[in-house]
Amino acid sequence: MGSGREVARLSQDHDAYRWICGGVSVNYHALNDFRAGNEALMEELLTDNVAALAAAGAISLERVAQDGMRVRADAGAASFRRQASLQEHLSEAGALVQTTKQQAQADPGQAQRKAQAAKLRAAQEREERIRAALEQLPEVAAAKKRNGGKAEEARASTTDADARVMKMGDGGFRPAFNVQFATTCEEQVIVGVAVLNAGSDMAQLAPMVEQVEQVEQVEQVEQRLGQSPGQWLVDGGFPAHEQIDAVAHRTEVYAPVPEPRPKKDAQGNEVQRDKHEPKPADSEALAQWRQRMAQPEAREIYKQRAATAECVNAQARNRGLLRMPVRGLARVRCVVGLFVLAHNLMRIARLAPQLIGWGIGAKTIYSQVA
């Protein structure tokens, strides 16, 4: 249920929702504000959630799989514009704000004043969104230039400046956010989450390992589970060389080794190269990764990545994580945090039901005595 208005209605009409609310009605504005404005709280709840499972012995960090999923942003494809177009729209929005202000001051009627105030608010919000898009444009241009494109072709959205056009699972390109999950392979509990507006996964390995390893609490920095993951499973989009070097002292990376580029000898014949053979320029961590992935045991371990990450992604989509109901990176992170907590709550019910009070009621006691 993703609508604040619908949840507010159910809190009055549906017995289960009324029980959750204790018979007190809930304003939909409060629900929407909570959903979109509690990023720090979501991180704290995830830490407490994972720590409780670890303390109960329900999960371990022996093996973790990380994967990213592209989730459609609440921004229209036609809302992306280049700098010249954004400047033009900004001028028009500023003129509209000034005109609306003058009309509101000249009209003495109360009803008309309310309507003019609503129009003014809408015009000001549009002006702010266009300004935000212009502020994001240099970052978009830099990313396009790094990827071999032309910086002058960079575009930003006038409805959600944080959204980026990304390649989706079906091969199409749409405005989206990159949602990253780190999940324990054995228990399928999400222990790390990140939301970013970069379409590539190449630089996301080390930040996620660090997030899972430690989290800032009230007085000191403590480890979320007291240990680093023993093995970290990712697909071929993650293992940039500098990322493997950055996490080598924390965990063992299991990721497919890319096929080497074909080379030819002096006679023009192609030379067959073993992709698992360390290269002269490889660091010790990279050499160990190549040799590790040549072992049959590593291939068996790596099979758990898809079984874990793809399953968690599919469950998130089945629960409605198909298109973001909010705009802006901070608000999107709050929504994803709610999905993560809902997922882990379902896992608690299976792994450690005693943490949520299941299995300790009078009925259970009676059945044990019987």
pLDDT digits (tens, 9 = 90+) for 6-18: 989 998 889 999 9
Using one digit for the tens of pLDDT, what is the confidence trace for 126-149? 888 889 888 888 888 888 888 778
Indicate whether 71 pLDDT > 90: yes
Tell me what pLDDT residue 369 has: 42
In a domain? residue 59: yes
Tokens describing residue 13: 């009409």
Cα(145)–Cα(137) distance, rounded to whole angstroms? 12
Give me the sign of the Cα torsion angle 314, 315, 316, 321.
positive
Q: Which of 108-122, 182-196, 237-251 has the lowest average pLDDT?
A: 108-122
In a domain? residue 152: yes
Residue with tokens 């973790």: 64
Tell me what pLDDT residue 368 has: 43
Which residues, 6 or more positions from 51, have their beta carbon under 8 angstroms from its beta carbon? 224, 225
Rg for the chain, CA atoms, rounded: 26
Q: What is the CATH number of the domain that holds 224?
A: 3.30.420
Tokens describing residue 166: 């990304």
The more confidently predicted of residues 52 and 301 is: 301
Helix 329-351 to helix 39-55 angle (10° resolution) is 20
What is the DSSP code string of 175-222?
EEEEEEEEEETTT--EEEEEEES-S--TT-HHHHHHHHH-EE-SSSEE
In a domain? residue 6: yes
pTM of the model: 0.82
Q: Taking a C-beta distance cutoff of 8 angstroms, is the pair 208, 192 a contact?
A: yes
In a domain? residue 260: no
Indicate whether 108 pLDDT > 70: no
In a domain? residue 276: no
Confidence bin at 66 (pLDDT 50/70/90): very high
Cα(36)–Cα(331) distance, rounded to whole angstroms? 5
Residues 31 and 152 in one domain: no
Residues 238 and 318 in one domain: yes
Residues 115 and 232 in one domain: no
Confidence bin at 298 (pLDDT 50/70/90): very high
Helix (H) / strand (E) containing 245: helix 241-247
Tell me what pLDDT residue 296 has: 92
Q: Which domain holds residue 26?
A: 1-36
Indicate whether 308 pLDDT > 90: yes
Tell me what pLDDT residue 216 has: 33
The more confidently predicted of residues 118 and 271 is: 118
In a domain? residue 121: yes
The more confidently predicted of residues 48 and 220 is: 48
The one-letter code for the residue type at 79 is: S
Residues 46 and 27 in one domain: no
User: DSSP letter at 235?
Assistant: -
Helix (H) / strand (E) containing 231: strand 231-233
* Percentage of the chain modeled with pLDDT above 90: 32
In a domain? residue 280: no
How many domains are contained in the chain? Answer: 3
Residues 62 and 204 in one domain: yes
Residues 214 and 324 in one domain: yes
Residues 193 and 335 in one domain: yes
Residues 185 and 328 in one domain: yes
Tell me what pLDDT residue 218 has: 31
Q: Are strands 231-233 and 63-72 parallel, antiparallel or unpaired?
A: parallel
Residues 309 and 208 in one domain: yes
In a domain? residue 188: yes
Residues 113 and 128 in one domain: yes
Which residues, 6 or more positions from 166, have their beta carbon under 8 angstroms from its beta carbon? 70, 173, 174, 175, 176, 178, 199
Give the distance, in angstroms, between the CA of residue 94 and the centroid of all CA atoms in the same chain.
34
Residues 318 and 226 in one domain: yes
- What mean pLDDT do residues 169-196 have? 92
The more confidently predicted of residues 213 and 285 is: 285
Q: Are strands 173-184 and 221-222 parallel, antiparallel or unpaired?
A: unpaired
Of the candidates 230, 231, 238, 212, the one whose C-alpha atom is nearest the C-alpha of residue 340 is 212
- What mean pLDDT do residues 187-212 have? 89
Tell me what pLDDT residue 243 has: 92
Q: Are strands 231-233 and 80-81 parallel, antiparallel or unpaired?
A: unpaired
Query: Please, what is the average pLDDT of the chain?
Result: 84
Residues 49 and 183 in one domain: yes
Give me the sign of the Cα torsion angle 209, 214, 217, 219.
negative
